[in-house]
């Protein structure tokens, strides 16, 4: 069962045009610009620092700072792909540090609330008349 597909000339032309368009689209993809990614990462690191992450999530914050510094060094050496990758990783690490700091604050607020409720219960029991 050897069948040969008969494709009309217009269909072949259309397929060839589609291939050319795809190749042109790939070729026109802009080069990776690490400076934009680094700027975003730098802003996120600063935001995490202002949120208390250095005290509440020091490991994640250190990772974000280290990767940001590495991204800046890679950019200075015109290593665009590593610079972009490191900037993206620094951004994610800074987001994680900020989220971890928020989690720590939430856990502290929960603990404080529980302690206040316990103190209130004890005060209520102390001031209520005994039931007979």
Contacts of 104 (CB under 8 A, 6+ apart): 56, 57
Tell me the per-residue pLDDT of 53-77, one tens digit each, with 9 for 90 and over. Answer: 999 999 999 999 999 999 999 999 9
Distance CA 98, CA 91 (A): 11
Alpha-helical regions (H) of 1-132: 9-27, 34-50, 53-56, 58-76, 80-127
Q: What is the pTM of this model?
A: 0.68
Tell me the per-residue pLDDT of 11-38, one tens digit each, with 9 for 90 and over. Answer: 455 555 555 555 555 544 445 688 999 9
pLDDT of residue 29: 43
């Amino acid at each position: 069962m050897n069948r040969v597909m008969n494709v009309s000339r217009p269909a072949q032309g259309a397929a060839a045009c589609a291939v050319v368009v795809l190749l042109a689209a790939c070729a026109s993809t802009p080069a990776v610009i690490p400076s934009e990614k680094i700027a975003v990462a730098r802003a996120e690191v600063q935001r995490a620092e202002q949120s208390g992450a250095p005290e509440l999530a020091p490991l994640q914050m250190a990772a974000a700072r280290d990767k940001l510094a590495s991204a800046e060094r890679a950019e200075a050496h015109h290593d665009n792909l590593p610079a972009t990758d490191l900037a993206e990783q620094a951004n994610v690490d800074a987001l994680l540090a900020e989220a971890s700091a928020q989690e720590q604050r939430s856990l502290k607020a929960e603990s404080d609330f529980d302690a206040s409720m316990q103190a209130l219960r004890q005060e209520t029991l102390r001031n209520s008349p005994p039931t007979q």
